[in-house]
Amino acid sequence: MTLTNQYSPDIVFHPATTLNEKLKEMGMSRKEFALRTGKPEKTIIAVLKEESSLTPEMAILFETVTQIPAQFWINKQARYNEYIARKKHEEAITQASEWAKQFPYAEMAKHKWVISTRNAKEKTINLLNYFGVASHSAWEKLYIETRLKVAAYTSLKQSHQPHAISAWLRQGELQAKQTDAPVFDVKKLKSNIPAMRQLMVEQPVDFFKQLQIFCLNAGVILLFTPKLPKVPLSGSTRWLNNTPLIQLTARYKKNDNFWFTFFHELGHIILHGKKYISLENIDFAAADPEKEEEAHQFAVALTFTNEQEKELLENKTITEQDIINYAKKFNTHPAMIIGRLQHDELIPYSVGRQFMESIDLSSL
């Protein structure tokens, strides 16, 4: 968002300038003016030296003595206050220039998250607007120090590329604001799992839109947000107020990775509630290995179970037709079987590529 039609003069004078001129015109000393207004002389001197602000109460008193309307003094002080505040904000923008350089701005602009520009100051302003913060120190408190104690934030202090990660997370927040989700219903979410699994098995062209509908029907927002360079994020789960949000990158653009990540994040919602934040493949301070393992096993149970893998491996040799037959028997997709065998290093990644289906959500 860009604010337009704002007039920012190069300089605005403190009301003391006008007041000093008026006292000189009236031939009145500071002491006499203080007596006539009923204010302490030190208070009047502080205003005249621009060391203190002129209050609405003073404006009323000044009106009687100077015959200049109180509104004039009030407006004069307000314009000066805004001028000083904007000067401080300009200084904050200058101080944030090095901070702004840490973000993959060009990639963010490519995704239309921010306005494309080569001007360093404009980049800084756009990033502050993007995060909805007044300064880079405010960003630090939100994403590094985590001063805001709500479920949507966690400290990225120990993570690699915290600036890029925060940009990706922020985009999820902005996307989620465009969706009006019903109240979260965990029973309904669980009841929708068989239908969501079937999407994994059949892989229809519009599977992601259907998946979003199943999630939203239970009060869960499911989003695709493109990954940023040097950030190995596959997905994230967190709660925005009382609404769970699953944010995915479709990082490897393969169906086995996509579905396992989705069910992993779904597991966090069902098993761990709103106090836990998941950042898949990212090391960060609040990561809980036990909870991550629980979510992992949740995904295993819904894609290709350990028992099913054991049954498959009882075969001395495994042919392409075996994979197809077992996929039908276990009601899963062949890619989930191949993906597991590759992950467990039982077969090389060059084997079974024909079962992998490409996932491209960039057109959404």
DSSP letter (8 states) at residue 334 = H
Q: 273 pLDDT exceeds 90?
A: no
> Mean pLDDT in the chain?
91
pTM value?
0.82
Residue 168 has pLDDT above 50, yes or no: yes
- Strand, helix or coil for residue 221: strand
The one-letter code for the residue type at 152 is A
Tell me the sheet residues that pair with 243. 240
> Strand pairing of 235-240 and 278-279?
antiparallel
DSSP string, 233-246: --EEEEEETTEEEE
Beta-carbon count within 10 A of 8 CB: 10
Cβ(317)–Cβ(323) below 8 Å: no
d(CA 337, CA 357) in angstroms, rounded, equals 13
Q: Are 175 and 225 in contact (CB under 8 A)?
A: yes
Highest-confidence segment of 152-156, 336-340, 360-364: 336-340
Report yes or no: 336 and 303 within 8 Å, Cβ to Cβ. yes
Residue ranges with strand state E in the chain:
221-224, 235-240, 243-248, 278-279
* Helical H segments across the chain, by residue range: 15-26, 30-37, 41-48, 56-66, 70-95, 97-100, 105-110, 120-131, 136-143, 162-176, 186-202, 207-217, 255-272, 289-303, 306-313, 320-330, 334-343
User: 221: which strand partners?
Assistant: 245
d(C-alpha 335, C-alpha 19), whole Å: 80
Q: Positive or negative CA dihedral for 331, 332, 337, 338?
A: positive
CA–CA dist 129, 15 (Å, integer): 32
Q: Is residue 2 pLDDT above 50, yes or no? A: no
Mean pLDDT of 67-86: 95
* Torsion angle in degrees (nearest 10) through CA of 154, 159, 163, 167: -50
Q: Specify the pLDDT at position 1.
A: 43
**140-144, 223-227, 256-260: the lowest-pLDDT one:** 140-144
pLDDT of 210: 97
Q: What is the pLDDT of residues 92-131, one digit of tens each?
A: 899 999 999 999 999 999 999 999 999 999 999 999 999 9
219, 181 Cβ separation under 8 angstroms:
yes
